[in-house]
A = this chain, B = another copy of it.
Amino acid sequence: MILSKGLKASSPLTTAQIEKRLNDVGVSATAQRIAICKYILCEADHPTAEDIKNWTDLNFPKLSRATVYNTLEILVQAGLLKELKLPHTGKIVYDTNVEEHFHFLDSATGKLFDVSPEECQVTLAMPKDISVQGVEVFLRGKISIK
């Protein structure tokens, strides 16, 4: 299983690096957006909008809720983020892993893990007139403690 942190920058990104990533996808790098990206790309693990707001309240005072949602939408459009609506919660969570992958929820802790397509293979045998364009898999279970 992919540990979610594994895909993130192992060390915090610099402001300049974040600016470049934003510019590369055509998003102007405002201070608010950089702050949000710092949290999302380096610290957070499948954060919700609320998680992000809580973090900015501590680290970037006066950043508004609207800007959080607005920025998230822009980052999703830009392909830097994936929006997840998972069945275990009503809240939308955001994923920095934009490659194809699935999710595993540890029911004991509520923690989400990414699952690679190698670890979870889906074999379809659907009627010929059905073309499947997207596959989402959500797993629940437990991690046994050794």
Interface residues of A (CB under 8 A from B): 1, 84-88, 90, 104, 107, 115, 118-127, 129-146
Contacts and interface: CB of A to CB of B under 8 A. Distances in A.
Given A87-B84, A118-B125, A142 B146 contact: no
The oligomer's copy count stands at: 2
A14 B126 CA distance: 34
Contact of A85 (B87, B127, B136, B139): B87
A25 to B, nearest CB: 24
Contacts of A143: 129-131
Given A115-B126, A131-B143, A136-B139, 9 more contacts: A1-B126, A119-B125, A122-B122, A129-B146, A130-B144, A132-B139, A134-B141, A136-B137, A137-B138
